[in-house]
Amino acid sequence: MPSRRKTSMFASAFCSCVSSFVLICVVLATPQWVSSEVRFSRTNATVTISLTYGLFSGTCEQFVDAGLQVSEKTFQVADALSRSRSLNVAIIVVLVLALLSSLLSSGFTCTNAVSNPYQTFLGPVGVYTWNSVCGVLTLIAMILFPVNVQGNSQSEELARGCSTSLRDHLGSRHSYGYSYWIMLLILFLNVASLIVIYFYDHARYSKKKEQERPIENAPKDVILF
């Protein structure tokens, strides 16, 4: 059976990993990744398309000139994209892999909280590995999404699918929503898990080295005995 200290530290890391898993599910499921206002010219008018979307779905509204709302509708991101679809799919794949990594990390921390696995990789090494993988994949998703929105003009492409007879693109404004910023919390939880396991591993290593100290460092009365 593991010591009380090991159980408490790995249980704390387990809670962080489970929270990370839940938050990745929330990130994938919610459509509040970005809100964009994209302006286009039209014959004798200026049209503003207001979009709020995530990786799978979104909503768009059309405003003409002085704020007259013409229409509002829901769309599927994959169906409305062509040029930037591949990168959107890549972000989904990256987050699914991060989800699996978080699940594995949760399993490893739970195993160590209730037992002492004899395989090295099932111990702290495995927790380090899967937490690091989850954190790196989450960071990649955070980088790729703005690249797709602003570098590949994803909002402009989606806006053109929401309306017809749009001509020149006049400008865009983007604001990233809570679904996107939650990934910062996921990164924090992964780092917290790594720190907890590092302190446990460091304390265990120090205790082991103390037990293996050379005989010349032992008290003289013990040596004489």
- Per-residue pLDDT tens over the stretch 160-190: 888 777 788 888 899 999 999 999 999 999 9
Count Cα neighbours of 110 within 13 Å in the Cβ-side half-sphere.
9
> Could you give the domains of the chain?
23-203 (1.20.140)
- The pLDDT value recorded for residue 222 is 45
The pairing of strands 34-42 and 45-53 is antiparallel
- The pLDDT value recorded for residue 187 is 95
The continuous run of DSSP H or E covering 165 comes out as none
Residue 216 has pLDDT above 60, yes or no: no
- 112-161: per-residue pLDDT in tens? 888 877 667 777 888 889 999 999 999 999 999 999 998 888 999 888 88
Across the beta sheet with 34-42, what order do the strands follow? 68-76, 57-64, 45-53, 34-42, 169-176
